[in-house]
Structure formats: structure tokens, C-alpha cells
Amino acid sequence: MTTIRLHNTATRKKEVFVPLDPANVRMYVCGPTVYDRAHLGNARPVVVFDVLFRVLRHVFGAEHVTYVRNFTDVDDKINATAAATGRDIRAITDETIGWYHADMDALGALRPSQEPRATDYIAQMIAMIADLVARGHAYAAEGHVLFAVESYAAYGALSGRSIEDMIAGARVEVAPYKRNPMDFVLWKPSDDATPGWDSPWGRGRPGWHIECSAMAQELLGASFDIHGGGIDLQFPHHENEIAQSACAHPEGSFARFWLHNEMLLVEGKKMSKSLGNFFTVRDLLDQGVSGEVIRLVLLGTQYGKPMDWTDTRRAEAEATLYRWRGLVTGVAPGADPDAAMVAALADDLNTPLAIARLHEMAKALGQGGGDAACFVASARLLGLLDPGLAGDRVPADVAARIDALIAARMAARQARDFAQADRIRAILTAAGVRVADSGAAATWEPGPDFDAARLDLPA
């Protein structure tokens, strides 16, 4: 069996991954707060952990892996959006979840095994909070319930900082009812205009971190294998999750492996909501950048390193996929992916090395050798060269018109009327259609700047 090694943030080391139960490998990844379109930075963990999901399925069997990714549909940002627009909260979150699915599907990400919504687990959150209070790890104060960080000796272990260090940073919310400035909210009161649920502490709503602890416990148990997310969640989100879960379920180990992807940069700066330097996955798709291209670019950097999105890389990925698809038209995937590529992925998801291996295989194919079926199977393990990702960006009637122009041009070429052939090419090129001659045949595909409207220019 393939040996998987993963860099565990909790130990800061690369460790051999041995699941608690090989018949049920369990992974939890923090999903989106659903109040807006996913930006490209949000897409990185989705694609990264999708690859891990695929690798785990490959190694342990598809039916032996459970992947949970939550939707946070209770949050003050959502409340703010609702208040600002007058729209119903459920309508906002339902719509946003629909967008999220559509956009992540376009990136070729498999749907997780389960996608729980926080609002369906309020009862479990309240139960966990009550349990933490009973165990002396949390206390109620002025309608709030707070987690007492000093009650958990290992607090700060994940992010490598002590409570004293954190307080020295001193940018925590000052609240008189906190016993320690680092204590964080498990439950907070809601006024009449704010969504709330009845609880032993009055009508209120959960704090940010408790949902993941409650849902992971409910769906994966007190001990599971992998917890993933962006490195910016390491503190405080994951630190707090650990504190809650470890104290509520001391019998369990919570997540054994913590995996964190580094940030996505734009012009060298982190893409983030607060900086406002973000664009959405939908923006790119609407510009004609296929989800598969986005995916290949995202996988071009190992997940543990920051990656810069650039237009150059987008163009390179486009050219690469064009060539690869041309090599394997009509080829069905073989039974097994390339061993060297699997080894690269098993070594802490070294996707750049895996892609390099694909390049080598493609080169062999271009030279007339190689194993096309194995190449396709290998690419599929990365979620690439999937028929569903090819993208039909050209409506059938437009495609028919292009086909007619291609045929007319072919006729002109065969009549050696090259002036006419070039005129037709110019029309197609102007509309962003790439035309490629190969002997007696010609193929075409929409380029990134494809615009059907310009096909109507006079010949």
C-alpha cells in the first residue's frame, strides 16, 4: 500500500499517515461562511483538499473515506447582509450555497461526503457548551458563555504561543465579563432583530468556533484523522476548536493531523476580504478561464507555500491543457495512475512534482511512445482531463456557424484560394476562435477572449 506522508501543523513535522480506521478514514475541512461568492483564495483549500480526498480514496478505497466540509450559515456577516438588504437569512444562505456548489463544481472538486449546515446543529452546539460549563471549562456571564482558556493547559499548542504571548499582542476585544482577555465566546445573546435560538442562557446564537467542534463530533466522532483549512485559521479558529473539543471530549484526540494550506497572493499580497484585493472564482469563469485551468494553476504550487496568481501562469496552464487534451482525445483512463505521480502526491501532496511527472508522460506520448490510458488515469487523480471539465462555452448554434466557416475555409484552402482562407481565419481570430490546421483537417476551439458577437462581422 502507498505510504502517505503529511506535514502535521500540530507537530511541525512531516509524518507517516496511518488512519485510525483504514475502513473509515475521516477528514474535516473548514468550509465557507455563506454570505458572498467564493473568491479565488477560498478556492485553494477546496482544490487542495479535493486532491487529498482523491488520494485517500485511491489508497484506501473510495467507500472508505469520509470527507466533511461545513457551511457556516449563522454568522454576524450574514446578519449584516440581511439587515442591509432586507432579505431573509435563509434565502441568502441558500443562494450562496448554490453559488458555492456551482463554482466549486466548475473547478472539478468532488462534493464532500457530507456538507453539514451549522444551523442544523444548534442543538449539538448547545449541548456541547452546557457540557463545557458543567466540566468547568466555560462560564456564563451577562448572557454570554465564554470558554476559559486557563482551564485548558494545552491552549496555544497548535499555534505555538502561550496565553501570555497572546495577551502581549493585546488586540483582543476588551469585555468586562471576561475572566481572561483571551477567553472567547461560545454563545452570545441575540436581540429581537437578530436570529437566535433558545438556550439555557437565554435566546442567543453560537460563537464562531463551536460549530466545527460540534459538527466534527457529531459526524466524525471524538477522534478522527485529518482536519484541514487555511493557515490563517490556525489561530484563533483551530486553536479554539481544539480547546472546546478536547475539553468536552477528553476521551478523544480530536484531529490527529492538522493540515494548513498557505495563502493565495495577488501581486504579492494575501488575497483577503479586508484588503479588498480579491476576485471571485465566478469572475474568472465569466472571463472564459476554465475551471480546469484555475485548478491546474492552483496545483502548480505545493499547498504549504504561498502562491501568486498571475496572468502568465493562467496562460501557461491554458496552453498545457490544450496540448494534453490534444494528446488523449478519445482515450479512456487506464486502471492505474502512474506510480511515480502517486508517490509525489503521497509525499505531502507534492502537486508540482506530480504535474512535472505528467509533463514527462505527455512528452513520451508526443514522441509516439508512452501510455495514454495511464496518463489519463494519472491526470484524473489530480482532477484534470475530466470530460466534465472541458466546458461547453459555445452554444450549439454558434458552434454550427463556426463549423460552417471552418468548412468554407477548408474549401478555399483546397482550391488554393489562400486569400479567402486567410480572410475567414481573420474573422474567427477576431472572435477569439483558435484555428489549427492539421493536414486535410482543421480544428478550432474558443480562446480566452472568445466573443460570439464578433462572428457577425462582414466577411
Partner RNA sequence: GGCGGGUUGGCGGAGAGGUUACGCAGCGGAUUGCAAAUCCGUGAAGACCGGUUCGAUUCCGGUACCCGCCUCCA
Positions 435 through 454 that interact with RNA (CB under 7 A):
435-438
For residue 23, the Cα-to-chain-centroid distance in whole angstroms is: 25
Q: How far apart are CA 215 and CA 56, in angstroms?
A: 21
DSSP class of residue 173 equals P
Question: Quick check: 71 and 32 in contact, CB under 8 A?
Answer: yes
Piece of 91-99, 119-127, 163-171, 331-339 that binds RNA (CB under 7 A): 163-171
Q: How many CA atoms lie within 13 A of 188 on its CB side?
A: 15
Instruction: Please give the residues from 192 up to 221 whose contact with RNA meets the rule CB under 7 A.
Output: 208
- Of all helices (H) and strands (E), which one includes residue 146? strand 144-147
Grid coordinates representing 124?
Answer: 449539538
* Cα–Cα distance, 121 to 205 (Å, whole number): 12
For RNA, the binding residues in 405-424 under the rule CB under 7 A are 413, 418, 421-422
Of residues 219 through 238, those in contact with RNA by CB under 7 A are: 229-237
Amino acid type, 38: A
Rounded to whole angstroms, the Cα distance separating 264 from 42 reads 9
Q: Which is nearer to RNA, 142 or 422 (CB)?
A: 422
CB of 62 to RNA, least distance (A): 25
In the block, residue with C-alpha cell 482558556: 149
Q: Which amino acid is at 235?
A: F
Closer to RNA by CB, 65 or 299: give it. 299
Figure out which of the listed residues 1, 16, 153, 168 binds RNA, where binding follows CB under 7 A. Answer: 168
CB of 331 to RNA, least distance (A): 16
- For RNA, the closer CB: 390 or 436: 436
- C-alpha 69/C-alpha 86 separation (Å) is 29
From the list 81, 113, 114, 159, which residue makes contact with RNA (rule: CB under 7 A)?
159
Q: Which of 166, 124, 130 is nearest to 149 (CA)?
A: 166
Question: Minimum distance from CB of 1 to RNA (Å)?
Answer: 20
Q: What mask of x and - would describe binding to RNA in positions 134 to 153, judged by CB under 7 A?
A: --------------------
Contacting RNA within 257-316 (CB under 7 A): 261-265, 268-274, 278, 300-302, 304-308, 310, 312-313, 316
Q: Which stretch binds RNA (CB under 7 A): 19-27, 54-62, 101-109, 361-369?
A: 361-369
For RNA, what does the binding mask look like between residues 376 and 405, x meaning CB under 7 A?
Answer: ------------------------------
Question: What's the CA angle centered on 182, arms 181 and 187, to 5 degrees?
Answer: 100
Give the nearest distance from C-beta 442 to RNA in angstroms: 8
CB-nearer residue toward RNA: 203 or 313: 313
| Residue 177 · residue 187 · CB < 8 Å | no
Report the alpha-carbon angle 358-325-392, nearest 5.
135
Given candidates 150, 363, 404, 411, which one binds RNA under the rule CB under 7 A?
A: 363
Q: Binding to RNA (CB under 7 A): which residues in 237-256?
A: 237
Rounded CA separation 259/228 (Å): 5
Q: Of 6, 10, 30, 214, which one interacts with RNA (CB under 7 A)?
A: 30
Q: Which of residues 90-119 bind RNA (CB under 7 A)?
A: none
- C-beta of 164: minimal distance to RNA in Å? 8
